[in-house]
Amino acid sequence: MELEHKLKLFYITSIFSMLFAVLGFSYNAWRMELTEDNNNIRTASFEVLTQLSEMEQVIYAAHYDKNMVDGSPRKAWVKVGLIVDLSSLISPHVERDSNDLKTLWSESWQMVKDDETATQNLVMQIDKIRDSIKLALGDLQ
């Protein structure tokens, strides 16, 4: 009887040990995946913020400096494309705002050099994306 009791206790202890090991491993794997997602979002966010500031520089060079080398629309097209591509890694809201920037840029890139309103609308859209990114970063777990 005593051996039977010891075996039963051993089996129960073994089962609980396995259960805790599986639960611990599962939580650790989940947490590592979440951490990796957060890291990807942060990396994409910082790159998009960099591209936004560079695009703003291109817009200002074209409009205020009338410098079509530094303010080349082709430079801005590349930046808009990268912003749209990376925004899908951040959040649906940032992606939507980035697509709005692409649409706005496609409608007004020819006017940036001479039209203050077009320039201001683009800068406001860039600021809107910046705000969306800040919100997305604040929501990370």
Nearest residue to 45 via CA among 125, 123, 135, 122: 135
**pLDDT level of residue 86 (50, 70, 90 thresholds):** very high
**pLDDT level of residue 20 (50, 70, 90 thresholds):** confident
Span 101-110, average pLDDT: 97
Asked if pLDDT for residue 67 goes beyond 90, the answer is yes
Residues 126/105, Cβ–Cβ less than 8 Å: no
Residues 64/112, Cβ–Cβ less than 8 Å: no
Whole-number pLDDT of residue 32: 78
pLDDT averaged over the chain? 93
Asked if pLDDT for residue 14 goes beyond 90, the answer is no
Length of the chain: 141
**pLDDT level of residue 38 (50, 70, 90 thresholds):** confident
Asked if pLDDT for residue 95 goes beyond 90, the answer is yes
Q: What is the pTM of this model?
A: 0.80
Whole-number pLDDT of residue 89: 95
Whole-number pLDDT of residue 83: 98
**pLDDT level of residue 48 (50, 70, 90 thresholds):** very high
Residues 61/67, Cβ–Cβ less than 8 Å: yes
Asked if pLDDT for residue 81 goes beyond 80, the answer is yes
**Over pLDDT 70: what percentage of the chain?**
100
